[in-house]
Amino acid sequence: MNRWTETELERLEVKASVTGEVLQVNVRPGEYVGTPANQPLVVLGGTRKHIRVDVDENDIARFREGLPARAKRRGEPAIEIPLRFVRIEPLVIPKKSLAGGTMERVDTRALQVIYAVEKTTVPLYMGQQVDVFLDAE
C-alpha cells in the first residue's frame, strides 16, 4: 500500500479523543450518513458512574455539602447502593423531571449535586433513574 492510500484510510477511521464506552450507535455499515438533526451518530460515555441528584429548592436549606447518600434502583427497594459526594453544581435550574407529587409545581427549581457510585455488584446503566436518599439531620 502506498503512503497516499494509508493517509486516506487513516482519515476515514473514527477515533475517540477520550477514554470511554460506546453507549449507543445510530449508524450501520453501508448506511448513508448525512447531518441528522438532533441525533448523534455515536454516543460515548465515561467509564466512571456518577448520579446527578436534584435537590428541590424547598430542601436546599437542609442540604449540606458532603452529606452521605445511598441510592435504590426503582423496583428493587431492598438493595442500597452507597454513594460518595463529588461536587455541587451551584446554579439552581428548573426541575426537569417531576415525580407527580401533589406539592410539586411546574415552576419548581432544583440544585444539582453529583454523587459517585461506590463499588457495587448491582448493575447500573447510563441514563437509568434511581431514588436517592440523603442523610440530612
Model pLDDT for residues 61-95, shown as the tens digit of each residue:
999 999 999 999 988 888 999 999 999 999 999 88
List of domains in the chain: 3-45 (no CATH), 50-134 (2.40.30.170)
Q: What is the pLDDT of residue 133?
A: 93
Residue 11: HSE in the Cβ half-sphere, 13 Å Cα cutoff: 6
C-alpha cell at 62: 437542609
Does the pTM surpass 0.85? The reply is no
Using CA atoms, how far apart are residues 50 and 116, in angstroms rounded to an integer?
4
Segment among 50-59, 82-91, 100-109, 116-125 with least mean pLDDT? 100-109
Which residue, 65, 127, 129, 124, is CA-closest to 98?
Answer: 129
Question: Which residues neighbour 52 within 8 Å (Cβ) at sequence distance 6 or greater?
Answer: 112, 113, 114
**CA 60/CA 32 separation, integer angstroms:** 49
The cell for 125 is 446503566
From the list 65, 89, 81, the residue with the least C-alpha distance to 116 is 81
